[in-house]
């Protein structure tokens, strides 16, 4: 199983965004999510990132070189905050 460490940006709610949180992974084109809370937004962002990475792997499209891929033993948890 591959584990990827991704940097993300969480934008605070603004009127122009309908007062919703917006988050993105800048290194993955199109990887954005939004929600009513920061937690909801980050959960959605995780799902979007997983989908993009899986689709790229299935189609043979390379991942951006600045994404850190870690091979990890089962039971290891990597958390970035």
Tens of pLDDT, residue by residue over 28-38, are: 999 999 999 99
With contact defined as beta carbons under 8 Å apart, do 1 and 62 qualify? no
d(CA 56, CA 72): 20
Q: Of all helices (H) and strands (E), which one includes residue 32?
A: strand 32-35
CATH T-level fold of 2-71: Double Stranded RNA Binding Domain (3.30.160)
Token pair, residue 38, equals 């920061």
List the domain boundaries for the chain.
2-71
d(CA 33, CA 44): 6
Q: Of all helices (H) and strands (E), which one includes residue 69?
A: strand 68-71
Tens of pLDDT, residue by residue over 9-53, are: 999 898 887 899 999 999 999 999 999 999 999 999 999 999 999
What does pTM read for this prediction?
0.79
């Amino acid at each position: 199983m591959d584990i990827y460490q991704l940097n993300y940006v969480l934008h605070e709610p603004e009127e122009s965004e309908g007062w919703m949180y917006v988050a993105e992974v800048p290194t993955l084109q199109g990887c954005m999510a939004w929600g009513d809370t920061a937690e909801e937004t980050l959960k959605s962002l995780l799902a979007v990132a997983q989908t993009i990475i899986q689709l790229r792997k299935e189609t043979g499209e390379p991942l951006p070189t600045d994404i850190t891929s870690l091979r990890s033993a089962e039971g290891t948890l990597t958390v970035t905050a």
